[in-house]
């Protein structure tokens, strides 16, 4: 199993945990929408939570900190499924959706796995180099 080298990558907004707040707010909106039977609030909460989660896992994956290959490969596969349903409608045979989804998922999985291996090697090389002393 691969460990983690160095510190967790910094967020897009520096020390402000915007993605984590988005995940929390999305979770709260999703729970509210579910308990009050309000589909718009439920959908908005799930979308906000998913966006925050995608930012965190993408940042960790593409910097070689931690692999999130399966989760990231699922995103284009879900988009392909939504595209097929939008173009052709809901198929009577659900297995037909797999013809579009599985190849997209497999291609993205192997591409993301390869990219993580490169990012991982670069991260290990960066953490192995001695740090320059601070200039005073």
Answer yes or no: are the C-beta atoms of 47 and 26 closer than 8 Å: yes
Q: In angstroms, rounded to a whole number, what is the distance separating the alpha carbons of residues 134 and 92? A: 66
82 CB-near residues (< 8 Å, 6+ apart): none
Main-chain dihedrals φ then ψ at residue 38, nearest 5 degrees: -120, 95
Mean pLDDT, the chain, integer: 88
pLDDT, position 1: 44
pLDDT, position 132: 66
Any idea where the domains of the chain sit in the sequence? 16-62, 64-128
- As given in the structure block, the two tokens for residue 25 are 């707010």
Q: In angstroms, rounded to a whole number, what is the distance separating the alpha carbons of residues 5 and 126? A: 9
Q: How many CA atoms lie within 13 A of 62 on its CB side?
A: 10
Q: In angstroms, rounded to a whole number, what is the distance separating the alpha carbons of residues 45 and 28? A: 7
Low-confidence ranges of the chain (pLDDT < 70): 1-6, 129-133, 136
pTM of the predicted model as reported, rounded to 2 decimal places: 0.77
């Amino acid at each position: 199993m691969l460990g983690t080298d160095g510190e967790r990558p910094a967020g897009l907004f520096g020390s402000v945990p915007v993605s984590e707040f988005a995940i929390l707010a999305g979770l709260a909106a999703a729970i509210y929408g579910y308990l009050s039977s309000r589909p718009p609030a439920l959908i908005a909460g799930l979308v906000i939570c998913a966006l925050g989660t995608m930012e965190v896992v993408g940042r960790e994956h593409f910097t070689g900190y931690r692999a999130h290959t399966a989760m990231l490969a699922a995103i284009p596969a879900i988009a392909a499924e939504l595209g097929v349903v939008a173009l052709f409608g809901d198929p009577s045979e659900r297995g037909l959706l797999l013809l579009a989804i599985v190849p997209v998922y497999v291609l993205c999985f192997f591409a993301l796995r390869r990219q993580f291996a490169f990012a991982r090697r670069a991260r290990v090389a960066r953490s192995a180099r001695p740090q320059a002393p601070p200039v005073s």
